[in-house]
Structures are given as C-alpha cells and as structure tokens.
Amino acid sequence: MIRALPKRLRRALRVASHLRMLGGIWACASRPMVATILHGVAIWAWHVPPLFGAALHQGLWHYAQHASFVGTGLLFWWALLPRPGRVYACGNAVMHLFLTSLHTGLLGALLVVSPRLWYPENAIGSTFWGLAPLEDQQLAGLVMWIPAGLIYGGVALFLVSLWIRASGRGQTPLRVIEIGVGDSMDVSP
C-alpha cells in the first residue's frame, strides 16, 4: 500500500521511520493486539451519539472521524496480514479477525434491532433514499454486521488455508516470501 503513495509522501515516511521515537511508537502500535484494540476503540467511540453528532456538524471532527477510521483500519490490516520478510503467526491473526468481527457485528446488530433512532441529526440524509430514519439506521447496521463480517471471515479463512498448507509441510511459523506482480503468494520455511 505504501508503494501507491506519492513519492514525496513515501520519502517523508521513510525519514520519519528513522526517528527513534516514532519507530518505538510504530513498533508498539503495529502489534496485532494493540492495532486491534485501537481499531475497535475508533469504531465504537465514533458511534457514541455525541461524537457522531459532532462529526456530522463540525468539519474538524468529521475529518478526525474519517482519519481515525482509515488510520486504524490500515494499521489493523498492516498488523494482521502476511508480508515479505516477516515471521507470521496465522492463528494470532485469525483470533484478532474473529474478535473484530464479533464486536463490529455486535455494533451492527445493535443498530439493526434498536427500536429508537441513535442519530436523529442524521435523519435528513435518509429521505434522499426514500427511507425512514430508523430504516436507514437499520440498513447501516446490516452493512456493518453482514458484509463486513463476511470480509473478516473470508480473510480469516484465507489465513487458515495458509496455516493448514504450511502445517502439512511441517512449517511453523510462516515466513512470507517476496512476490512480484502476477505471482501467487507462497510460503517458505
């Protein structure tokens, strides 16, 4: 993902990564457990009605909301997915995907089954789609619950398949090797 960034930003990130303090923060934040917790806190905190309302009405809060979703989301996936040169524990990643699927699914389910509107200030947007405000909330909860859960589950199944394949060859933990564009992912001892 970093290769897709503009050259200037990549250079700035490279310089920043050499700073000892930022390196220490990154080393801590990019641990799977820490990244999972940070991502979960961002998701749940921004769904607290007063914070959600602030993000709807104030530009700075809105940008902070989206920056925290994108930032913690990228951190979460960076911490969990295999990448070249990294000794990798699939079971750990699968557990974090399962836990994230549980808590985001719970939040989505709560939005679906709630008999009252959580975010009345968001009701204006639902009329554009021909939905009642509560229907809009329920639809948003379903999207958070089902499709997002399928993504977490699909990635977990992929990682389990890597894990099983490696265990059949007596390899554990996995070491991901560098692959080129168009190559298939492979696992080496």
183 shares a domain with 122: yes
100 shares a domain with 173: yes
Residue 5 maps to a domain: no
What is the average pLDDT across 98-116?
A: 96
76 shares a domain with 87: no
Residue 11 maps to a domain: no
For 186, which DSSP code? -
Domain that residue 108 falls in:
83-189
116, two tokens: 């009252």
State pTM to two decimals: 0.76
Would you say 51 and 61 are in contact if contact means Cβ atoms under 8 Å apart?
yes
What count of Cα atoms within 13 Å lies in the side-chain half-sphere of residue 133? 11
Q: What percent of the chain has pLDDT over 90?
A: 53
Q: Quick one: pLDDT at residue 172?
A: 54
Q: Quick one: pLDDT at residue 134?
A: 93
Q: Which helix (H) or strand (E) holds 13?
A: helix 7-17
Q: Could you read off the pLDDT of 25-50 as tens digits, one per residue?
A: 888 888 999 999 999 999 999 999 99
What is the average pLDDT across 66-72?
A: 96
91 shares a domain with 145: yes
Which range scores top for mean pLDDT: 11-20, 53-62, 121-130? 53-62
116 shares a domain with 35: no
Q: Quick one: pLDDT at residue 25?
A: 83
96 shares a domain with 56: no
Q: Quick one: pLDDT at residue 171?
A: 59
Q: Could you read off the pLDDT of 129-172 as tens digits, one per residue?
A: 889 999 999 999 999 999 999 999 999 999 998 888 877 776 55
Domain count, the chain: 2
